[in-house]
Structure 1
């Protein structure tokens, strides 16, 4: 009899895992509390690093991501006056890592994975939250919000930062903590903003951080990051008040940034707080394992969240196929992944720190030190980029 595998969460980690398991002869079931429409319209956009694109290669989906995204050829950092502080060159990524970096709408990447999962005949149940998880020595019983219950040999919590599976099965683990930064962004047509030749232009502004990229005959993908106290975060702005607040944050930025914000429809601007999840002492308990953000949330500043989730999927599927018991598979998975994802978490925290700079002295020190740290950051990125989960997922990265 085939191993019964339940996956809670139809995000990048969950759908990718289901695809790899199906190709290895398993018949996974995916349980997702959101609707399909919510999945297809989730979030704003992200950048898949070469290691994430190579993980997609293991799913046969690299070309689809390239077709729907923007090849990202580098990052250029400016201060509030528009002076270049440093740059990261990604033009040799294909040569060095066998894949480019690609900026893509979150919903588009989710749709690519969903369409592949549907084509593979995977059972995906939208609109069902998990209310209870009960383990016995032989299986895991999952009770859904629809009142139904089903038993699995393995249950995978791929349900994100606020994982219900983690809360229900491993309540001893710490919860995510707000780190003092908040972000917003959107996708908007601004015809008079010139294409950026595949480069993401980023500004360390006086009050906030701003970034954008634009392909020819395409809309502008933009985002910003700004310090925000816990108290102010509790009463978030929306609509016109939010648009005015963002315009005020960037009033001293280069003119192109102000133009992009002015063109954005206030109703379309999305805001998201930045959370860190403390280092979890374990990622599994009995027949249940966590992957992706449920196990190791990586801040957006690392550019590795989606890539790490896709890598997790390939490694866990290989471990399940290779090991005789869930416990041994989970132990092997965690031993292969922990050091790598912790390196990505550290990179994200280091990249986020300069975005908190406030005051004249902090800004001047940032401008002096950033040109020295950018090359070090590129080396740290490239160590992450070089790993190929599509080739030998059970080898150490």
Structure 2
């Protein structure tokens, strides 16, 4: 048996078709040595996200195959998964990926012999719902770009070290990996990303007896020259229990085919059998964690996107400064943040793979909205914030209202998944699953000035199931130097019914009290526009519109902005995609907000 390497740095082991680990260190503030083995894409995605996180990582990837030894398969990049790659500097368009402009259920046009096209949709308009493009990429080209991002000398962090012809054969939850040549490597963290045939999965106590089983479907796939396909427009008839998936990657020069058919009767063909496993009770134990198909296998629909989300979540829960003894707890957070979403998408994928008439139909809009409307970076970041807040209670949420007399406002388009992290309770949500949303920054001057963020088209769900649609006000800054100022709220144009606010006051108690950080008062308020108009008539006397506008925030720092730094830092996260309107309104009629009411 080989010697266990000594290291002063932390080694994170990514197990994909093989595994990788980290040598023990006191905290993750040191270099993290990550070993990764298994699925080529999963390994390199994990390496890329580790490198681009705040963690300093020395990543060693071990694999029994060469990275460029890949077949001609294509990859479907949903908008949310594509956005995560873009966040780390990977733009699939640069590798020849094409926009998804037309779809048939499931995510391709569906044709049945004798019935013609069942469903077809032009996606050019509906794609505007999403922050990022919906792409079809060539696997080889995308993999090469991921490899470049993880291993190139340019870029943040330490480049990953690619170690080929190294196969991992055993792993345990205490951070020990054994390679086929007898070498042993000890790490603080092992990430198993070794696909549906995972060996690292066996390291989990809940995985005993868990085996892969056939889904009843197999597939064979191949790329052909697109010109050749266009030269012969005839298509072969196919039976009701077979499916051909076709999409064009690689600068629109290839057509990728995936042919799905019953497994029975394919003994003479070398095919790709679509495998599944029973849901695991847990994805982590001690210092071992699974990602991708090792944790939740997918039939060929969303496996790439879900693996990308797994790696991003790991990067979020293991930031710079994480103590080594916190790793098991942080891995449980990863599982908590990912398990429900990945399991639900996994079940959607199974339903989408059924033959027509086999079981209840798939609600495509629900599926796409749930899947594409989820942005893992924002989701995991917010969930981690809640966990940190719970451990270290502070003042909590802040209430506010506003008034108008002279208002300069900018309405803009931005990320819905980022804005929703400002919602105080799960009862708040957006009406639409679209990942773009609209908000307004108004600066209002009365006897004092105030500046706020107003988020439009927000839906509040009452306990009795009734809905209120309004504009949510999460943040308000006021200059109260004029002592006779009157608290007022602006009237913003739009289809919303009024202004939603959330009132929160923490309990007053000594520093060591168990009640510290708990709410003394916490409820939602609503100010209906219609009732406010009955109190005071509002009249606009002058409206001026701007030709162009720009807004930026500087979080500064705790020393420069000690009281509001944590608030401004959240505003600085906002990336404005487009300014919709900028104007200055002057008018008369100031409401006293007497119509405000508590929402139960």
What is the TM-score when the length of structure 1 is the normalising length?
0.76
CA contact (8 A) 1:32 1:126 kept: yes
- The alignment status of 1:125 with 2:163, answered yes or no, reads yes
Q: 1:314 aligns with which of 312, 315, 333?
A: 312
Q: 2:242 aligns with which of 194, 208, 214?
A: 208
Segment drifting more, 168-177 vs 332-341: 168-177
CA distance in structure 2 between the partners assigned to 1:347 and 1:204 by the alignment: 24
Report the CA distance between 1:379 and its aligned residue.
2.6
CA distance in structure 1 between the partners assigned to 2:364 and 2:127 by the alignment: 19
CA distance in structure 2 between the partners assigned to 1:84 and 1:51 by the alignment: 28
Summarize deviations over 1:168-207 as a string: whole Å, max 9, x none: 4545261221111011121112525449xxxxx9997445
Question: Secondary structure of the residue that 2:295 maps to in structure 1?
Answer: helix
Summarize deviations over 1:134-173 as a string: whole Å, max 9, x none: 454xxx1212123322211100001111111112454526
Report the CA distance between 1:66 and its aligned residue.
5.2
Q: What are the within-5 Å matches in structure 2 for residues 213-232 of structure 1?
A: 213-214=247-248, 218-229=253-264, 232=265
Summarize deviations over 1:263-290 as a string: whole Å, max 9, x none: xxxxxxxx21011121101101111100
CA distance in structure 2 between the partners assigned to 1:204 and 1:380 by the alignment: 26
CA contact (8 A) 1:299 1:348 kept: yes
CA contact (8 A) 2:218 2:260 kept: yes
1:265 match: none
Higher relative helix content: 1
What is the TM-score when the length of structure 2 is the normalising length?
0.52
**RMSD of Structure 2 on Structure 1 (CA):** 2.8
Q: What are the within-5 Å matches in structure 2 for residues 26-175 of structure 1?
A: 26-38=57-69, 41-42=70-71, 44-61=73-90, 63-65=91-93, 67-75=95-103, 76-81=109-114, 83-92=116-125, 94-119=127-152, 121-136=159-174, 140-170=175-205, 171-172=207-208, 174-175=210-211
Q: Which has the larger radius of gyration?
A: 2
Report the CA distance between 1:116 and its aligned residue.
1.1
Summarize deviations over 1:194-221 as a string: whole Å, max 9, x none: 49xxxxx999744511122347862222
CA distance in structure 1 between the partners assigned to 2:127 and 2:169 by the alignment: 44
2:371 match: 384
Report the CA distance between 1:312 and its aligned residue.
0.5
Are the structure 2 counterparts of residues 32 and 92 from structure 1 closer, same or farther at C-alpha, using a change threshold of 3 Å? farther
Segment drifting more, 152-161 vs 49-58: 49-58
Question: Secondary structure of the residue that 1:353 maps to in structure 2?
Answer: coil
CA contact (8 A) 1:29 1:124 kept: yes
CA contact (8 A) 1:188 1:221 kept: yes
CA distance in structure 1 between the partners assigned to 2:340 and 2:272 by the alignment: 27
CA contact (8 A) 1:277 1:297 kept: yes
Are the structure 2 counterparts of residues 377 and 392 from structure 1 closer, same or farther at C-alpha, using a change threshold of 3 Å? closer
Question: Secondary structure of the residue that 1:180 maps to in structure 2?
Answer: strand
Q: What are the within-5 Å matches in structure 2 for residues 227-238 of structure 1?
A: 227-229=262-264, 232=265, 235-238=267-270
CA distance in structure 2 between the partners assigned to 1:288 and 1:217 by the alignment: 41
- The alignment status of 1:176 with 2:212, answered yes or no, reads yes
CA distance in structure 2 between the partners assigned to 1:123 and 1:337 by the alignment: 28
- The alignment status of 1:189 with 2:176, answered yes or no, reads no
CA contact (8 A) 2:68 2:140 kept: no
Aligned residue pairs total 335
Are the structure 2 counterparts of residues 273 and 217 from structure 1 closer, same or farther at C-alpha, using a change threshold of 3 Å? closer
